[in-house]
Structure 1
Amino acid sequence: MSAVIISVLVMVVLSLLRLNVVMAIIFAALTAGWLSGMSLPDTVEVLSEGVSDQAETALSYILLGTFAVMIGYSGITGFLVRHLVQALKGKKAFVLLTIAGVASLSQNVVPVHIAFIPILIPPLLNLFDRMKLDRRAAAVSLTFGLKAPYLLIPAGYGLIFHGIVVDEMEASGMTIGLGEVPLAMALPVLGMLIGLLFAVFVTYRKDREVNDAAQLEAEEDFKEMRFTKFHMLTIIAIIGALLIQLSTESLVLGALTGIVLMLIFTVVPFKDADQVMVDGIKMMGMIAFVMLVASGYATILQDTGAVDDLVTSAAGVLGNNQLLGAVAMLLIGLIITMGIGSSFGTIPILAALFVPLAAALGFSPLATAALIGTAGAIGDAGSPASDSTLGPTSGLNADGNHHHIWDTCVPTFLHFNIPLLAFGLLAALIF
């Protein structure tokens, strides 16, 4: 069996057994290196070298967590939640679809990706508990908004994603226009939408029981909240951080701007800055470490040629069967992306391997784009190492009552990867 398949299975099984996801990825990386003929010391060296590829992302997440804690310190989020409680009481589906809509804006209109989650979601947890809302549904809603828009809409992160698909296909010898990629991805995204609606209105529609004592305690916290000048200064800091992030295209500089403004405005007293930084690292530090280790794991898979071996093995048994070929390519994408945890990072690998195979099977450029785009996205939802699952967990687990694997990864895997596989296959055969 392929080193990719076995190592991904190691990661998934260990994660499902509730071993810390960082440790699960490390064991998966060691397994991949060992099965590919590398010594353990060499595997560790490659893993360590690959970690540096996500260093900037990890730093941005830690700074973002600090900024989010500062915003919470100001009390503005609690003030807003207090006024939402009565208005949204009993409207769980509306809340969940609104969350999905807000998350969708983070990919195209205001491209901040997961940056909004640790700011928006933790203050809403008390509201979720009062509404008896199942947080697994919130995880599915957030992941939908973090993925579907960039798969379909050529703006913001979507423009980057579509550009990667076009460029990598062309580099491998197949030409497609940038305007054709949304058409290729329309059916897979429709599948994701169906998965979201099924989660909201069927799977997780029942009330989730919560601790009444905790509710009463939280209600006391909201009673005396009024809008103050510090709330206004916090809004200014948020706008400043957003403007810097958009103008410089740097999440690090954006988050750092927000932190500096919060200190200058004395929203957070300087004497409390150290503790706030510690709390920020607690909130987002795990995500940072997972992204770092996952980057090293991806480097091992690429450097050892394990991915090439997997595709070569699959191509040998496909013959000229388009249906079997499409299923095989989507499943390969699922396995690779589950391990690497990034649809953006997986597309160049998949395009180089899939374009010759798709051409040999007689797939059109539009069908090939659908296969590559869907194969790159199919494992991202549900991967323990993906920021599309880590982001929602960072917000929903702010109070320690949400499990990354069972409450985020498993629900998003079931509700998105299954329809992506079905509708991606349909798109490939239709186009």
Structure 2
Amino acid sequence: MNAVLLAVIVLFALAISRVHIVLSLILAALVGGLVGGLGFNDTLTAFSDGLGGGASIALSYALLGAFAVGLSKTGLPDVLAEKLIAMSGRDVSGKRVMYVKAFLLSLILLLSISSQNVLPIHIAFIPIVIPPLLVLFNELNVDRRLVATILTFGLVTPYMLLPVGFGGIYLNEILIANVEANGLTVGDVNIISIMGIPALGMVVGLIAAFIHYRKPRTYDTIALGPTDYEIRQMSSLKMIMTLAVVLIVLIVQLQTESMIASAVTGLILLSIFRLIPWSEADDIFTSGMRMMAFIGFVMIAASGFAAVIRETGAIEPLVNGASDLMGDSKLIAALVMLLVGLVITLGIGSSFSTVPIIAAIFVPLCVQYGFSVEATIAIIGTAGALGDAGSPASDSTLGPTSGLNADGQHDHLRETVWPTFLHYNIPLIIFGVIAAMVL
């Protein structure tokens, strides 16, 4: 069997068997290297040499995690939660129900989207903002499956489309960098126009979710006590200073296109302005880095895995064999690549970690089929994002569940994983194929 194909099969089998993904990547790389004729020592050398490719991304994630936790400790997310409740109001009788529900869900959507770029705190806002809203959701008879799909849309679509914040990492530092690392010259491309077509699939999925889960759903009202959730108070001066820090961080992002520079700037300003307790600063930064360290280590290991795959020299035979199986149809080729990306991401749970793995295989395959540079980027970018919505181990599903299940009435698999998988992955495949054919 082809060494690359066997390595991917081993990786997926270990991942779905709940073997830790970093260990799975190392073992799969060893299998691929040994079967590919590299030998044990050469495989380890190739793996080690490839680790550096994910180092800057991992550091970006660690620093961004530290900034996210630091920002959450300022009390700004608590203020957002309080304002959200106040703006929604408690008079939800009669015709006002529809307007309050639409307003509330729109605000949650906007907050979720901004958590990836303007306010780069990722999923850190969900356990703070969502639990106090559960009683209001119950009064409005909101189906929490709809809220889960809204949150997941906001966590996934921005990084797919906008090269700012987490999108800057995914699109520039991972997607384009790995396409170029595997031999394709990208040049000056408009990444927003390329990924805009797949992103439309996410919009279609969100609209479908609004239709599907529009009917009222009843939950038991279980009030969360003060020990379960407590909104911290924040002075006006502190809020203004925190918002100023957020604005400065956003400006640094746009000017430098570096998440490392923007995150470090944010951390320094939070400390200098004493927006977080000076005595707790070290622990806050450490816990923030720890929160994102898992993803960072996965991305580092994925870079090593990809390096071993390239070193085996088994990619070209795999590409030729795949071409024979798929025939001359570019449509079928694009569909198969997207499905492979879906399967791998479901196992790993991270689109950011999937791209280095699939790019090593997909770039030569796209060249073989005559896909344009833009189409190749769209295929790999979409294939990486596929499965992030719908993977049980993804932050994009674990985050929403952490907030919606605060009162024990929201099941992770049945009410977050399955709804997000159904409404987003099917449209993503359709629009991903369209992007591959028209770009």
Q: TM-score, normalised by structure 1?
A: 0.73
Shift of 1:191: 3.0
Q: For 1:176-215, what per-residue CA distance to the aligned partner results, in whole angstroms no more than 9, with x for missing partners?
A: 9968994x766544433222333454369786969936x2
Once residues 49 and 307 of structure 1 are traced to their aligned partners in structure 2, the CA distance between those partners, rounded to angstroms, is 19
Corresponding letter in the other structure for 2:230: D
Mean Cα displacement is larger for which, 81-90 or 330-339?
330-339
2:205 maps to: 195
CA drift of 1:60 comes to 1.9
My pick for the range that moved more, 264-273 or 300-309, is: 300-309
Displacement after TM superposition at 1:41 (Å): 4.0
Deviation at 1:81, TM superposition (A): 0.6
Match of 1:378 in 2: 383
Match of 1:25 in 2: 25
Q: Distance in 2 between matches of 1:278 and 1:231?
A: 24
1:137 aligns with 2:149: yes
Please name the residue that 1:125 is paired with: 130
Which deviates the most, 343-352 or 123-132?
A: 343-352
* Change over 3 Å in CA distance of 1:376–1:347 after alignment to 2: farther
2:430 is equivalent to residue 422 of structure 1: yes
1:314 maps to a residue whose letter is: A
Match in the other structure for 1:237: 245
Q: Indicate whether 1:221 and 2:230 are aligned.
A: yes
Distance (Å, rounded) in 1 between the aligned partners of 2:237 and 2:171: 39
Look up the match of 1:362.
none
Name the aligned partner's letter for residue 247 of structure 1: Q
**2:379·2:435 contact (CA, 8 Å) conserved in 1?**
no
Matched position secondary structure for 2:274: coil
Quote the offset at 1:78 in angstroms: 0.7
Q: How does 1:197-276 map to 2 (within 5 A)?
A: 197-202=207-212, 212=222, 215-217=224-226, 221-222=230-231, 225-276=233-284
Structure 1 match to 2:92: none
Hey, what's the Cα distance between the residues in 2 that align with 1:181 and 1:252?
22
Report the identity percentage. Answer: 30
Whether the 8 Å contact between 2:62 and 2:292 is mirrored in structure 1 is yes
Residue in 1 that maps onto 2:324: 316
3-state SS of the aligned residue for 2:120? helix
Tell me if structure 1 keeps the 8 A contact 2:345–2:385.
Answer: yes
* Residue pairs, 1:392-411, within 5 angstroms: 393=398
1:403-426 Cα deviation digits (max 9, x unpaired)? 999987776554333323334445
Query: Is the 8 Å Cα contact of residues 159 and 170 (structure 2) preserved in structure 1?
Result: no
Aligned-residue offset at 1:305: 3.2
Q: 1:146 aligns with which of 137, 144, 158?
A: 158
Deviations 1:12-46 (A, max 9, x none): 44434444333333333333333333334433332
In structure 1, distance between residues paired with 2:351 and 2:230: 39
Per-residue CA deviation, residues 264-290 of structure 1 (Å, 9 max, x unaligned), is 112223221221122212322222222
SS at match of 2:271: helix
Q: Distance in 2 between matches of 1:5 and 1:205?
A: 45
- Map of 1:287 onto structure 2: 295
In structure 1, the partner of 2:37 is 37
TM-score, length-normalised on structure 2?
0.72
Structure 1 unaligned residues grouped into runs of 5+: 360-364
CA contact (8 A) 2:397 2:416 kept: yes
Per-residue deviation at 1:119? 5.4
The structural deviation recorded for 1:48 is 2.5
Q: Could you tell me how far 1:337 is from its partner in structure 2?
A: 7.3
Distance (Å, rounded) in 1 between the aligned partners of 2:258 and 2:190: 27
Structure 1 counterpart of 2:382, one-letter code = A
Distance 1:176 1:23, change over 3 A: closer
Question: Could you tell me how far apart the structure 1 residues matched to 2:131 and 2:68 are?
Answer: 17
Contact 2:66 2:284 in 1 (8 A): yes
More divergent stretch after superposition (330-339 vs 419-428): 330-339
1:61 and 1:51 mapped to 2: Cα distance?
Answer: 16
Answer yes or no: is 1:355 the counterpart of 2:364: no
Q: Which residue in the other structure is 1:76 paired with?
A: 76
Alignment CA distance shift 1:417-1:226 (3 Å): closer
State the match for 1:50 in structure 2.
Answer: 50
Q: Which moved more, 1:338-347 or 1:47-56?
A: 338-347
SS in 1 for 2:386: coil
Distance 1:144 1:19, change over 3 A: same
